[in-house]
A and B are shown apart, each in its own frame.
Chain A
């Protein structure tokens, strides 16, 4: 089955700096890669996703890049703000599979004021 590894497990940045979180996946059939944000005590919520026919996707301060050859994808957050502090999860899913997402282990991002 799919295996998703996520690094780093914790990340601290100064407000206004950029943050990058990286994930690798094992199943070359995976073609959908979402990122979820989970604030303390809350449910995970989708913030951005990318499909394997696209190399990069942006949404305001958030971007995701995908390298299918190397089987890794990354989340980039620019101009970080204190409200970006949360746990971020990457995930992967194989196309045509009824099975749901395989998640990474999460990154605790702390934005220091």
Chain B
């Protein structure tokens, strides 16, 4: 199994541009989440999903959209990038029966100029 994969690894955007961060998992996990990591602020939950077709907001959802059309994929969309969205983004998944244990992807480093 590849586990949780994320693309791209690194991205530079200009303010106002849009892009999609990809996340996929091949473990048949029901739960998937997006976190952002900023210095001194830990990991903050952006959006999460408890299954295909079901998503909900986390702690910092503004400026981001998600969808979950399949169990495997959970893309994160930035509609109009802002410098405040410069961060490292981690996707994570977990499974029913041990939903609390997050399996993290390798992360995407995003720089918004």
Interface residue ranges, A against B (CB under 8 Å):
1, 4, 6, 9, 32, 34, 36, 42-46, 49, 89, 91, 93, 98-106
Interface status of B97 (Cβ within 8 A of chain A): no
Chain B 77-110 interface residues, beta-carbon cutoff 8 Å to A: 90, 92, 94, 100-102, 104-107
Contact with A along B46-72 (1 / 0, CB 8 A): 001010000010110000000000000
Q: Which label, helix, strand, loop or mixed, suits the secondary structure of the B interface?
A: strand
- Residues in B whose Cβ lies below 8 Å from that of A106: 40, 42
Partner of A105, one of B31, B33, B41: B41
Pairwise interchain contact A100-B101, C-beta atoms closer than 8 A: no
Question: How many residues of B are in contact with the other chain, CB < 8 A?
Answer: 24
CB distance from A68 to the nearest CB of B (A): 17
Partner of A100, one of B40, B58, B105, B107: B58
Pairwise interchain contact A101-B56, C-beta atoms closer than 8 A: no
B34 nearest CB neighbor, chain A only: A100
CB distance from B43 to the nearest CB of A (A): 4
